[in-house]
Amino acid sequence: MCGIALGVWHHDDTQPHDAWASVINQIQRRGRDACDSVAGTQNGTRWELHASVLCLRGKELTPQPITSQDGHLHLAWNGQIFSSEHEDDPLLDMEKNDGAIIMTRLEEHADQIPDVLVSTLSAVDGPYAFVLVDTRNTCVYYGRDPLGRRSLLHTTTHGAWHLASVSGAAWETHWKEVDCDALWQVTLGQAPVRIPRHISRFFLRAPCDDVPDHAALVPDLHAVLSESVRQRVQETRRARIGLLFSGGLDCTVLAALAAQHYAGPIDLINVSFENPRAIAAAWAVAEAPVEHDTFPADPYAVPDRVTARESYAQLAQLYPMHAFRLVQVNVPYAEYVSYLDTVQVLMTPQASVMDLSIAAALFFASRGEGYVDGVPYKTDARILLSGLGADELLAGYARHRQAWRRGGYDALTKELQMDLDRIPTRNLGRDDRVLSSHNREVRYPYLARKVVAYLASLPVQAKAYFELDELGDKYLLRCLATQLGLTHAAQLPKRAIQFGTRSAKMDAAGAHAKGTAQAFAP
Residue positions annotated with a catalytic role: 2
Sequence length of the chain is 522
Give start and end residues of each alpha helix (H) in 339-388: 340-347, 353-367
User: Is-contact 58 95, C-beta < 8 A?
Assistant: yes
Distances 238 to 58, 241, 264, 326 between C-alpha atoms, Å: 10, 10, 11, 21
Residue stretches of the annotated binding site for ATP: 244, 386-387
Return the beta strands (E) in 245-359 as ranges. 266-273, 324-331
Instruction: Give CA–CA dist 335/127, Å, rounded.
Output: 32
Sort strands 240-244 and 266-273 into parallel, antiparallel or unpaired: parallel
To 5 degrees, how large is the angle CA 345–CA 40–CA 169? 10
Residue stretches of the annotated binding site for L-glutamine: 98
User: Is-contact 37 51, C-beta < 8 A?
Assistant: yes
Amino acid (one-letter) located at 113? I
Residue stretches of the annotated binding site: 98, 244, 386-387
User: Is-contact 456 205, C-beta < 8 A?
Assistant: yes
Q: How many Å separate Cα 124 from the centre of its chain? A: 18
How far apart, in Å, do the first and last CA atoms of the chain sit? Answer: 26
Return the beta strands (E) in 108-212 as ranges. 124-125, 128-134, 139-144, 153-157, 160-164, 176-177, 183-187, 193-195
